[in-house]
Amino acid sequence: MHRNPWDPAKSCFNEYEVHSLKPSQLSSEVSTYQVRPNFFSLTIEDLKAIFEGQGKEQFRSQQVFKWVYEKRTTDPEKMSNLSKSFRAELRNLFDFSLPPVATHLKSIDGTQKFLFDMGQGMTVEAVLIPSDGRLTLCISSEIGCNMACRFCFTGKQKLKRRLQTGEIVGQFMQVHDRLGPDERISNIVFMGMGEPLDNPEAVFKSIEILHSTWGMNVSKKRVTVSTSGIVPEMWRIAASKVRLAVSLNGPDDAIRTQVMPINKRWPLAQLLSACKEYTRATRDKVTFEYVLLKGVTDQIEHARKLYKLTRDVPCKINIIPFNEHPGTGFERPDDSQVALFHKELMNLGAHVLLRRTMGRDIFAACGQLTSAYEEHPKMMDISNSTLGGLRVTDSRGGQLSL
């Protein structure tokens, strides 16, 4: 059982057994240490321990981290402030490989989608989203997904395996290495393929690596972990001091269970209690993601229920018009209905943002990511909606937030 750092007498999380992963389900990251560990799976503390075991000074870990992450040098021979003998040893100590980019697509709106080859015929996608001077990278944590959300393309795949830490960090590094000299990934969102809290060890270890001062130095305030609602693992998000996004997608238990089977196990009362605890622990707001499905979640009465459901939780609500994909039984609402839903929430006083649809033409928008397979489409006609081209402000006059 994972340790819950909050006071058991006050924590809602101690009411449930913490979700644990069966050994057979885990990616065998530990087994790689029997050969050579992938460098991008290691924190700086891991590296210190390895060097100490080799009889090396601990400060060498900082030197090597700086070469690999800041200077982007993985060839030990070029690490000039290390001795020749140490450079020779490094080549045999670590595997510096990154997951190869199999496909790189660019949208008409500037969004970029990367398909990564994870071996054995398995692939995942990550998306780079430009917005108002920022570059947000949407990262995947699993190949497939166990949550089976009915509106999500990834949800149509059963979980094939969980990604290892180096495969998650590797997505960031591969995209980083393709940026121009004046470009930088400013924000990370774990909203790609898979449920991050179904692979918590690798997800939060990857965050620590990317956050390291000696690594990429990504601020945790610019990292968001999204969950469909694995309540017993949500404490990890607060403990890691990153932001929380919750895929809500239903104004009541009946509708949410219809579109998100996880609601049967952890219904809205438990989920919202965990969200309140997050806000108490972090003094940060929760972002609720709400997908508008035509005739299912997009009616004015749903907007009113959504407001009542969330008004006691410090939050903002991102409303997302459904993004189509093959085989779905749902439809995207008309732009006029989306506008009415948005306006109703604003009139009620909610802090609400209408998510600008990005990358829809290359199947890179929210809910459209999946592994490559024979029938996987690469492009789509987006002429049925003008929302993708709008710049939308929130109900309080702020800029659109991804």
C-beta of residue 232 within 8 angstroms of C-beta of residue 15: no
pLDDT tens for 300-358 read 999 999 999 999 999 999 999 987 766 677 888 999 999 999 999 999 999 999 866 55
Give per-10-residue mean pLDDT for the chain (402 aa).
Answer: 47 38 38 73 96 91 96 96 93 95 87 91 91 91 90 78 97 97 95 95 98 95 97 98 97 97 97 98 97 96 98 96 76 93 97 70 48 49 43 33 32
C-beta of residue 123 within 8 angstroms of C-beta of residue 102: yes
C-beta of residue 364 within 8 angstroms of C-beta of residue 105: yes
One-letter amino acid for residue 331 of the chain: E
Distance from C-alpha of 39 to C-alpha of 357, rounded to nearest angstrom: 36
In the chain, CATH 1.10.150.530 covers 33-93
Beta bridge partners of 291: 320
Distance from C-alpha of 262 to C-alpha of 268, rounded to nearest angstrom: 10
C-beta of residue 202 within 8 angstroms of C-beta of residue 66: no
End-to-end CA distance of the chain: 34
Distance from C-alpha of 240 to C-alpha of 193, rounded to nearest angstrom: 21
Per-residue model confidence (pLDDT) at position 394? 34
One-letter amino acid for residue 309 of the chain: L
Give kind and range of the element (H or E) at residue 309: helix 300-310
Active site residues: 125, 366
Q: Please determine, looking at this structure, whether the domain spanning 101-389 carries the CATH number 3.20.20.70.
A: yes
Q: Is residue 261 helix, strand or coil?
A: helix
C-beta of residue 201 within 8 angstroms of C-beta of residue 141: no
* Topology adopted by domain 33-93: DNA polymerase; domain 1 (1.10.150)
Phi-psi region of 44 (alpha: psi -120 to 50; beta: other; left: phi over 0): alpha
In the chain, CATH 3.20.20.70 covers 101-389
